[in-house]
Amino acid sequence: EAGVAQSPRYKIIEKRQSVAFWCNPISGHATLYWYQQILGQGPKLLIQFQNNGVVDDSQLPKDRFSAERLKGVDSTLKIQPAKLEDSAVYLCASTPGQGIYNEQFFGPGTRLTVL
């Protein structure tokens, strides 16, 4: 079974530029999560999708971050414009169904450096 795919693996941009990350969850997984992991901290949930609907985006900085999952499969996370404090690893995870009783499967992450 293929795992969660993310691209790119690394990205370096200057502040005020825009960047987009892509995630393809495990086939058939209905729930998709985006996390931000700043160096030395645990992952912080940014947004959770159930199919193509948003379940929780309470911690997403909506003035600069956006995410979509238009067809309920793959997802993109965008930052526009980026700030220095956005430097982090962005993790995507998926689960087969809704609810916390399902194990989350994580992708390798995208390491973003904002200069």
Partner 1 sequence: AQSVSQHNHHVILSEAASLELGCNYSYGGTVNLFWYVQYPGQHLQLLLKYFSGDPLVKGIKGFEAEFIKSKFSFNLRKPSVQWSDTAEYFCAVNAENYGQNFVFGPGTRLSVLP
Which one among 19, 25, 107, 112 touches partner 1, defined by CB under 8 A? Answer: 107
Helices marked H in the chain — which ranges? none
Phi first, then psi: what are they for 86, rounded to 5°? Answer: -85, -5
> How many residues line the site for partner 1 (CB under 8 A)?
25
Indicate whether 48 belongs to the interface with partner 1 (CB under 8 A): yes
Which one among 16, 44, 62, 83 touches partner 1, defined by CB under 8 A? Answer: 44
Q: Least distance in Å: CB of 30 to partner 1?
A: 12
Q: Least distance in Å: CB of 83 to partner 1?
A: 22
Indicate whether 98 belongs to the interface with partner 1 (CB under 8 A): yes
In what side-by-side order are the strands of the sheet with 65-68? 5-7, 19-24, 75-79, 65-68
With a CB cutoff of 8 Å and minimum separation 6, the contacts of 53 are: none
